[in-house]
Amino acid sequence: MNSLLRRLRHELFATPGDAVLSVALLALLTLAMGGLLRWALVQANWAVIQANSTLFAVGRYPAEQQWRLWLLTSLLVGAAGLSWGLLRAHPRADRQGLLWPRNDRVAVGLLAGLAVWLPWALGLTGGIQARWWGLAALLIGLRWLAGRQGASWPPRLLKLVPLVWPLLYLTGMVLIGGGMGVAKVSPSEWGGLLLTLLSASFAILLCFPLGVLLALGRRSELPLLRWASVIYIEFIRGAPLITLLFLGQNIFGFLLPNGLAPERVWRAAWVLTFFAAAYLAEAVRSGLAAVPTGQVEAARSLGLSQARALQHVVLPQALRVALPAMVGQFISLLQDTTLLSLIGLLELLGVARTVMANPEFLGKNAEVYLTLAVLFWCCCAALGLGSRALERRLDPRTVPSR
Partner 1 sequence: MTTTPAAAANTVVPANTVMIEAQGVQKWYPNGFHALRGCDLRVNRGEVVVIMGPSGSGKSTFIRTFNALEDFQKGRIVVDGIALSNDLRNIDAIRREVGMVFQQFNLFPHLTVLDNLTLAPVLVRKRAKAEVERQAMALLQRVGIAEQASKFPGQLSGGQQQRVAIARALCMEPRILLFDEPTSALDPEMVREVLDVMRNLAEDDITMVVVTHEVKFAEQVAHRVVLMAEGEVVEEAPPQVFFNTPSHERTRRFLDQIL
On whether the CB atoms of residues 341 and 265 are closer than 8 A, the answer is no
Smallest gap from Cβ 27 to partner 1, in A, equals 47
From 154, 238, 303, 359, residue interacting with partner 1 (rule: CB under 8 A): 303
Of 9 and 312, which has the nearer Cβ to partner 1? 312
Q: Which is nearer to partner 1, 126 or 155 (CB)?
A: 155
| Residue number with CB closer to partner 1 (101 or 400) | 400
- Closest separation between CB of residue 300 and partner 1, Å? 7
CB of 299 to partner 1, least distance (A): 8
CA distance 209 to 320: 15
By beta-carbon proximity to partner 1, the closer residue of 219 and 320 is 320
Residue 381 has phi, psi (to 5 degrees) of: -65, -40
Close Cβ partners of 69 (under 8 Å, ≥ 6 residues apart) = 58, 61, 175, 176, 194
Rounded Cα–Cα distance for residues 8 and 14 (Å) = 9
| Least Å from the CB of residue 295 to partner 1 | 6
Q: How many CB atoms lie within 10 A of CB 237?
A: 12
Are the C-beta atoms of 184 and 177 separated by less than 8 Å? yes
Contact 211, 275 (CB under 8 A): no
As measured in angstroms, the least distance from the Cβ of 165 to partner 1 is 22
Number of helical H runs and strand E runs in the chain: 18, 0
One-letter amino acid for residue 76 of the chain: L
Minimum distance between the CB of residue 88 and partner 1, rounded to whole angstroms?
Answer: 19
Distance of CA 150 to the CA centre of its chain: 26
Q: Which of residues 81-120 bind partner 1 (CB under 8 A)?
A: 93-94
Q: Which of 90, 131, 264, 300 binds partner 1 (CB under 8 A)?
A: 300
By CB under 8 A, name the one of 239, 242, 247, 302 that touches partner 1.
302
DSSP character string of 274-337: HHHHHHHHHHHHHHHHTS-HHHHHHHHHTT--HHHHIIIIIHHHHHHHHHHHHHHHHHHHHHHG
Least Å distance between CB 94 and partner 1? 5
Instruction: Tell me the torsion sign for CA atoms 85, 86, 91, 92.
Output: negative
- By CB under 8 A, the residues from 359 to 398 that bind partner 1 are 394, 396-397
Q: Which residues are CB-neighbours of 395 under 8 A, at least 6 positions away? A: 320
Nearer to partner 1, 71 or 298 (CB): 298
Among residue numbers 10 through 69, which ones bind partner 1 (CB under 8 A)? none
Interacting span for partner 1 (CB under 8 A) from 19-27, 113-121, 297-305, 351-359: 297-305
CA–CA gap between residue 173 and residue 182 (Å, rounded): 11
Nearest CB to partner 1, comparing residues 103 and 398: 398
Report the site for partner 1 in 304-323 (rule: CB under 8 A): 304-305, 308, 312-313, 316-317, 320
| Closest separation in Å from C-beta 329 to partner 1 | 22
Crossing angle for the helix pair 223-237 and 192-218, nearest 10 degrees?
140
Tell me the site size for partner 1, rule CB under 8 A.
25
Residue 1 or 93 having the CB closest to partner 1: 93
Q: Of 96 and 125, which has the nearer Cβ to partner 1?
A: 96
Under 8 Å CB-to-CB from 316, ≥6 apart: which residues? none
Q: Rank residues 278 and 299 by Cβ distance to partner 1 and give the closer one.
A: 299
CB of 77 to partner 1, least distance (A): 31
Chosen residue from 259, 357, 399, 402 binding partner 1 by CB under 8 A: 399
**Site residues, partner 1 (CB under 8 A):** 93-94, 292, 294-295, 297-305, 308, 312-313, 316-317, 320, 394, 396-397, 399-400
